[in-house]
């Protein structure tokens, strides 16, 4: 089934694809596989630089060829990982096997068993995923993060926040667009149910911006 607005699992890849397409370089499965390859390669290079006795013969000229495995990573490489995964039934193990194939092609097959040496899958994932987020933010891929203090100052300056010092609380005022229909209303409805409030609390009036 081809990806379209109607077949996408999420609106992120459906109706909003033209806005979020840049994020595919960081958060698609292809990107995750590429980042996993990158982490594995850089870890292997770090082992060479220690050096582990078994890897001391690998010169620095091999490092750039190894880095080319993720710098030139293609969709065909990702498809090969998925093909391997159909046998391993393990996504990170499939990346490891792909790298071993690549190392054979680079003439480094004698040391390929040191790929993923001493690592777990979570070591790879817990490095690859934060790295993808970091680089998405650095490259301005449409992801914006505001600190809590900055958001507080901005909202307070606009009159959306009022500090009640006697009660020790902050009151926030907001108008949610499209509140009485669609997902925005469903979100408020779900929150009401979770908090034990009347299901239609906050939904019976039209929101007006302060």
Q: Is the pLDDT of residue 146 over 60?
A: no
Each residue's pLDDT tens digit, 193-208 = 877 888 888 777 665 5
Each residue's pLDDT tens digit, 26-54 = 999 999 999 999 999 999 999 999 989 99
97, 84 in Cβ contact below 8 A? yes
pLDDT of residue 11: 83
Alpha helices by DSSP H, 139-181: 148-157
HEC string of 113-140 equals HHCCCCCCHHHHHHHHHHHHHHHHHHCC
Q: How far apart are CA 94 and CA 115, in angstroms?
A: 12
For residue 178, what pLDDT band results from cuts at 50, 70 and 90?
Answer: low
The reply to whether the predicted model has a pTM over 0.75 is no
pLDDT of residue 210: 41
pLDDT of residue 137: 80
Q: Is the pLDDT of residue 145 over 60?
A: no
Q: Is the pLDDT of residue 16 over 60?
A: yes
55, 63 in Cβ contact below 8 A? no
Where residue 162 falls (left for φ over 0; alpha for ψ -120 to 50; beta otherwise) is beta
Q: Is the pLDDT of residue 188 over 70?
A: yes
pLDDT higher at 146 or 133: 133
pLDDT of residue 140: 65
């Amino acid at each position: 089934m081809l990806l379209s607005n109607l077949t996408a699992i999420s609106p992120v890849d459906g109706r909003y694809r033209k806005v979020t397409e840049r994020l595919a370089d960081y958060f698609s499965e292809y990107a995750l596989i590429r980042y996993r390859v990158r982490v594995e390669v850089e870890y292997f290079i770090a082992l060479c630089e220690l050096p582990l006795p078994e890897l001391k013969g690998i010169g620095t000229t091999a490092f750039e060829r190894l880095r080319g495995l993720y710098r030139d990573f293609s969709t065909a490489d990702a498809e090969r990982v998925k093909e391997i995964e159909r046998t391993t039934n393990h996504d990170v193990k499939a990346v490891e096997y792909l790298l071993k194939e690549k190392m054979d092609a680079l003439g480094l097959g004698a040391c390929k068993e040191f790929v993923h040496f001493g690592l777990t899958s979570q070591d790879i994932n817990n490095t690859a995923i934060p790295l993808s987020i970091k680089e998405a933010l650095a490259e301005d891929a449409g992801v914006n993060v505001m600190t809590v203090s900055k958001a507080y100052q901005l909202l307070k300056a606009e009159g959306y926040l009022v500090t009640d010092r006697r009660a020790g609380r902050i009151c926030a005022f907001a108008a949610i667009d499209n509140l009485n229909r669609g997902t925005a209303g469903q979100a408020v409805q779900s929150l009401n149910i979770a908090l034990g409030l009347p299901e239609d609390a906050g939904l019976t009036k039209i929101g007006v911006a302060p």
